[in-house]
Amino acid sequence: MRYMINCLAPVVVILLSAFVLAGCSAVFGENPREQADEAISKANESISEHNVLFDDARATYADVKQKIESGDDPSKEKDNIAEAKNTLEKARKYLQDARESLGTVAELDVDPSVKEYARLLSEAMDAQLSAEAKEIEFYGILEEDPALQNNREEALDLLSEVGEGYQQAENTYDKAQNVANANPKLIQAAPE
């Protein structure tokens, strides 16, 4: 039987928007509001790059999956599988950068709900990064065994973990969105 597993995972990275913060006086240059705005701006840039690469990796995988399911020789798809894996690895670096940028908000003297929002987004990004790491493992298995003749169970187990990880990320992104919705004067929610 020649078919590949359908590895669904929504792109749930929420684009952050600028916080409207009540700032304190500057200690060394920028005040907390400016620091948060800069951190968020950097995170937005990284998230945008991540999303483009993530979509590219998924499109490549979907193309490979379609070709194999239509009867093409799976061994001819190894290069495309490697491309999807490498693209997802690049995407993860941008999401890691965004997560690091958000981490600076916790140290700032800003409203606690803003800190909670940033904490939840960071937690969601951690869950997504973990799921993406498992997805990369899946691509590695697929690269070695495109028809999954010898590694089907391992691949299915990984995909189950991937799905759970993306679901955890999505749930946490939803919690962050709820914090933003409850504090519209402090946190300007990203458009959906």
Number of Cβ within a 10 Å radius of residue 41: 13
pLDDT for 85 beyond 50? yes
Q: Which residue has the tokens 């006086």?
A: 25
The answer for residues whose C-beta is within 8 angstroms of residue 18's C-beta and 6 or more apart is 37, 40, 41, 188
Q: Does domain 32-182 have CATH number 1.10.10?
A: no
Query: pTM value?
Result: 0.80
- Start-end of H helices in 24-77: 32-69
> ∠ CA(90), CA(94), CA(98), 5° rounding?
165
Give me the pLDDT at residue 188, please: 63
To the nearest whole number, what is the mean pLDDT of the chain? 81
The residue with greater pLDDT, 67 or 128, is 128
pLDDT attached to residue 190: 53
pLDDT > 80? residue 191: no
Burial class (CB in 10 A: 0-12, 13-18, 19+), 12: middle
pLDDT digits (tens, 9 = 90+) for 125-177: 999 999 999 999 999 999 999 888 898 899 999 999 999 999 999 999 999 88
Confidence band for 49, pLDDT divided at 50, 70 and 90: very high
The average pLDDT across 61-87 equals 90
Give the mean pLDDT of 4-10: 36
